[in-house]
A and B are shown apart, each in its own frame.
Chain A
Amino acid sequence: NAGVTQTPKFQVLKTGQSMTLQCAQDMNHEYMSWYRQDPGMGLRLIHYSVGAGITDQGEVPNGYNVSRSTTEDFPLRLLSAAPSQTSVYFCASSYSMADSAELFFGSGTQLSVL
C-alpha cells in the first residue's frame, strides 16, 4: 500500500493562477480531508469528505474548492491563487470520521504564491 499520496511536493504560482493539488489514498478510506499549516497556527481544516459525492467546509474554506467523485481521490482546487494561500498543504484520510479512527497523512505540498 502506498497510503496517502500527494502531488506535487512543491509548487510556485503567480497571483491569479489556478491549480489543483492532488490527493489519492489506496486504503479504501471513507474520510478524506485537506489541511493547511502555517507557522504558529497549527493545522487548520479546509474541506473534508465523508464519502464519494459528499463534501463539507472546514475552518478555512474560502478560496478553495473540492470534489469527491471516487473513494480514492480528493483534489483541492485553487481557482485564483493569492499570496495569503502560501502554505504547506496536507491531505489526510481515515476509515471513518465517526469512529475516531486515526488519520493518515500525505507528505505535503509546499505552495508559494508570488
Chain B
Amino acid sequence: GQQVMQIPQYQHVQEGEDFTTYCNSSTTLSNIQWYKQRPGGHPVFLIQLVKSGEVKKQKRLTFQFGEAKKNSSLHITATQTTDVGTYFCLSNDYKLSFGAGTTVTVRA
C-alpha cells in the first residue's frame, strides 16, 4: 500500500496565491523525490532531497525535507496556470511506489 501519505489530495488555488503540499511517512526515509505530471502527460522528475532539513529551490518552487526525515513539503509561490498538474512524492524505501499525489487546479 501507500506508505507515504500526501496531503491534500486536491488543491484549488487562485492564480497568484501560494500553496503547500505535504508528504508524510510514519518511518524515517532515506530520501524523497518529487515528480510533476501535467494533465494527459507522464510524471517528470523535479528534485531529490537526501539530507535532514534540506531545502532546495527551483524558481517559485521550494522543497523541504524534515529534520526527522519523515516528511517533506513542496511550497509554490505566486501560483501560475503552468503549475496545474499532479505532484507526487516518492521514496525508494517502498519499492518505488508512489503516493496518491496532490492534484492542483488554478483559478485565473
Contacts and interface: CB of A to CB of B under 8 A. Distances in A.
Interface in A74-114: 90, 92, 97-98, 100, 102-108
Interface of B: 1-2, 9, 30-31, 33, 35, 41-45, 48, 50, 88, 90, 92, 95-101
Interface string A24-40: 00000000010100001
User: Considering residues B43, B45, B48, B96, which has the most beta carbons from chain A within 10 angstroms of its beta carbon?
Assistant: B96
B42 A42 contact: no
Interface in A40-75: 40-45, 48, 58-59
A20 B48 CA distance: 33
B9 A35 contact: no
Contacts of B2: 42
A103 B88 contact: no
B97 A59 contact: yes
Interface residues of A, number: 23
A40 to B, nearest CB: 7
A40 B9 contact: yes
Contacts of A97: 92, 96
Secondary structure class of chain B's binding surface, majority of residues: loop
B42 A107 contact: yes
A43 B6 CA distance: 13
B42 A108 contact: yes
A105 to B, nearest CB: 4
Given A40-B9, A102-B45, A103-B45, A45 B97 contact: yes
Contact of B50 (A33, A100, A106): A100
Contacts of B97: 43-45, 58-59
Nearest to A98: B92
Contacts of B101: 42-43
Contact of A59 (B1, B31, B33, B90): B1
Contacts of B31: 100
Given A42-B100, A100-B30, A103-B35, A48 B95 contact: yes
